Amino acid sequence: MSSLTPLWPFATVLLVIHSCYSFPTDLSTSPELQVDASVSAQVCTHVRSILGIIFLCLVSLVACSWNAVHPNIPGVDEGRWIIWLRRVLIMVLVVITPELLLVWVLQQFTSAGSAARAFNEWRAASVTGSQYEAWNRTHGFFAEMGGFQLYVNGVSYCPLTVGELTRYIDRGAVTVPPITEEEIRDRSKNDGFNKVLAVSEIVWFFLQFLVRVAYKLPPTLLEIETLRLIMLSFITWGLWWKKPKDVHRPYRVEWKLEESPAELELGTATRHGLVDALIRPIISASRLHAINVVSESAVKARRVSTFHSGCLDQRVAYSKQDRKTLLLLTGATVLFGSVHFFSVIYPFPTPFERRNWFFCTGALLSLPLIFSCGACFRSDEDFLPAKPMSWIIEFLLAAVTLFYLCIRLITFILLVQSFQTLPSGALQVVCWITSVPHLFS
């Protein structure tokens, strides 16, 4: 991946801010909002700026997504600049396609549980395993994100999967001292003070949003979309709650035998590119195929791929419980997507814009449910022999994914256009809310 690739979001943000800042803010030319007399007495005479609205939404999004994203362990020789750019890329994808990334996060969540169960089964059956404590999901996350790095003759070789790690321990090829959950958490950089600042800014965003709705002052479409993205990011935050955050160095595992280790799964590039690394695992949503999705850049850097979904060393199908979890996650996505119904009180300048906006809203609410139902149907073991139908379902899921991306693009265009004709009420503020202390006012 080119180091310049993640810079395009910053250019886009600057372009949007410049365009919106140049929009007319003369309230006499904006659509008027009928406000009750009891409400108008609480509305201040001064107005907020368009730039201030954009800045508030950007700060809230960055505060939430920066804490919600838990990237995999980087390569041992990678610089801070590359690590930071990769982190920004994931944050941008969280904003652009939050529903699709939720499926990827769910895959990592279930893979971490599968890795912990696989290790505990080996621990119960192996004589060597008796010296280790039972693993939980934190251990599974640490292993699946590249936490155990194999070193041969003092040189980094590649990360080990759980199956490879236990197999080499039984052979006496490696020695792995028992690692506790506390030691893993010590490597994590979950800064409590940083989270408090992020939560305080998000709470302020919620408060001023609800106050505007209560006083019948329409929030802008950008604020409605920001509220939805923040709520979806909180689901990601919850699924990654036990995943170590910003771990920059893996656990070093020394190779003790004279012969070199055989070809390892995370050390072989079989797929390359964002489409194969992210879209294909999301579409299949079941990891039914024994295909290792490891990019050439990840193999070269001796790390786990950015969008690695885990469980490479076994053919894993979603169990009945996992399919229920996926549907529950989809239900939460649809529920939080209903935040768009706040736009009912927004006075669109034309019926055409209103129809377009609510068409996109309806699509964003329905597509995740369609996608998840298709993924669950695709992951049914009894359905696998029907290859033609299986391919048709996978093709339809790919089409739904592309349609979803088009809807997201249209929504972004409508958001930018909405700043050209903001209603007067969208720029007004409630007097008492301005006295509430908060950051980035």
The burial of 340, by beta-carbon neighbours within 10 Å (0-12 exposed, 13-18 middle, 19 or more buried), is given as buried
Question: Would the CA dihedral through 183, 184, 187, 193 be positive or negative?
Answer: negative
Residue type, 280: R
Task: Name beta bridge partners: 158.
Answer: 150
State the pLDDT at residue 376. Answer: 65
> Residue 432 has what DSSP assignment?
G
Query: 72 with 148: CB under 8 angstroms?
Result: no
State the pLDDT at residue 377. Answer: 64
pLDDT tens series, the chain, 441 aa: 333 333 333 333 334 334 433 343 443 334 444 444 445 546 666 678 888 888 888 888 888 888 888 888 998 888 888 888 888 888 888 788 787 777 778 778 888 888 899 899 999 888 888 888 889 999 999 998 989 999 998 888 889 988 889 989 988 898 877 888 888 888 887 766 667 777 777 888 888 888 888 888 888 999 998 988 888 888 888 888 889 988 888 999 999 888 888 777 777 765 544 445 445 544 444 443 444 556 677 778 888 887 776 654 443 445 665 666 667 677 777 777 778 888 888 888 888 888 999 898 888 888 777 767 766 665 555 554 455 666 676 677 677 778 888 888 898 999 888 888 888 778 888 777 666 665 554
Q: What is the end-to-end Cα distance of the chain in Å, rounded?
A: 37
CA distance 85 to 69: 13
CA distance 89 to 38: 47
Percentage helix, strand, coil for the chain under 3-state DSSP, each rounded to 5: 65, 5, 30
**How far is residue 170 from each of residues 181, 193, 255, 293, 408, measured CA to CA in Å?**
22, 43, 13, 27, 50
Residue range 69-88, pLDDT digits in tens: 888 899 888 888 888 888 88
State the pLDDT at residue 142. Answer: 93
The burial of 259, by beta-carbon neighbours within 10 Å (0-12 exposed, 13-18 middle, 19 or more buried), is given as exposed
Residue type, 283: I
Residue type, 236: T
